[in-house]
Structures are given as structure tokens and as C-alpha cells.
Amino acid sequence: DATAELLQDGWLCTGDLAYILDGQLVLCGRIKDVIIVGGRNVFPEDIERAVGTIEGVRAGNVIAFGVEGYKGKESVVVVAESRAENGDEIRSEIHQRTLEVCGLPPRDVILVEPSTLPKTSSGKLQRSKCRELYLAETLSVR
């Protein structure tokens, strides 16, 4: 039966990361998006939320993802939309916030022009597409 193939121990495997708290299902993110930094699981949403509070960064327009880094270890890259003139200060603050969230500095901090991060037709940020653009070096860097 096709349904049985999708179930593992009675659970439907959707790729979502979640836990149960007080009998309620709490969604945390997507398993494929988790970044493993120094043996710790880092949720890109945590970095994105922290960076989104920085003055000069467009809240809700930040994407964090993992890339292969030094000696094959995963590193964090943060891409944020900003039109502020003080780009170096903003990059420094993003660097610091990322360090606070995951315990290691990001490999790269990229500022892009507003409205250039990849989004779905419904307006959701496309983390995997942004990663592809970063690796291809085709982001609209400021």
C-alpha cells in the first residue's frame, strides 16, 4: 500500500522538524535545512530571526544556509537584504549575531539589494535557491 510506504513507526515523513510539547506539535523547520556546526545542530531560522532585528537589515529578508567549509566541515553563510549605506558596519553586526547564535563565525556575510532574494510565487524565501545562487556567484551583491 502506497500510504504504508510513507509512514515510519506510524508517522508521516514530511521532512519537517518538530517536537511535541504539552501535547501540541511544534514545527521548527525543515530537516534538510539544519546546519551542523562544530557538532551542533543550528537552525537557520534562529540566525535569520536574530539578523533580521539589526537596523539596516530588511526584517524577513534574511537567508542563512550551510556550505562545505574548511576540511569539509559545514560553515554558515548569511545573505541579507539591505539598502543602508553603512554596509561594513551591518556585515560586522551580522557576523557578531551569527557568532552568538551558533558559536562560530559565519564563513561569509553577503548584503544584497532589496527585493532580490529568491522567493516563491507566494512570497516565501527560497533557501535552497539562494544557496545555489551563492555557489554559482550570481547573487546581486551590494
* Average confidence (pLDDT) over 39-48: 92
User: How much is the pTM?
Assistant: 0.85
Q: What is residue 32's predicted lDDT score, i.e. its pLDDT? A: 87
Domains of the chain listed by start with CATH number: 32-135 (3.30.300.30)
Asked whether the predicted pLDDT for residue 70 surpasses 80, the reply is: no
Cβ within 8 Å of residue 42, ≥6 positions away: 34, 35, 36, 76, 101, 102
- The residue count for the chain: 142
Q: What is residue 1's predicted lDDT score, i.e. its pLDDT? A: 67
Give the tens place of pLDDT for each residue, 105-119: 999 999 999 999 999
Q: If you average pLDDT over every residue of the chain, what do you get?
A: 91
What is the rounded CA–CA span in Å between residue 129 and residue 107? 18
Of residues 75 and 4, more confidence is placed in: 75
Of residues 20 and 29, more confidence is placed in: 20
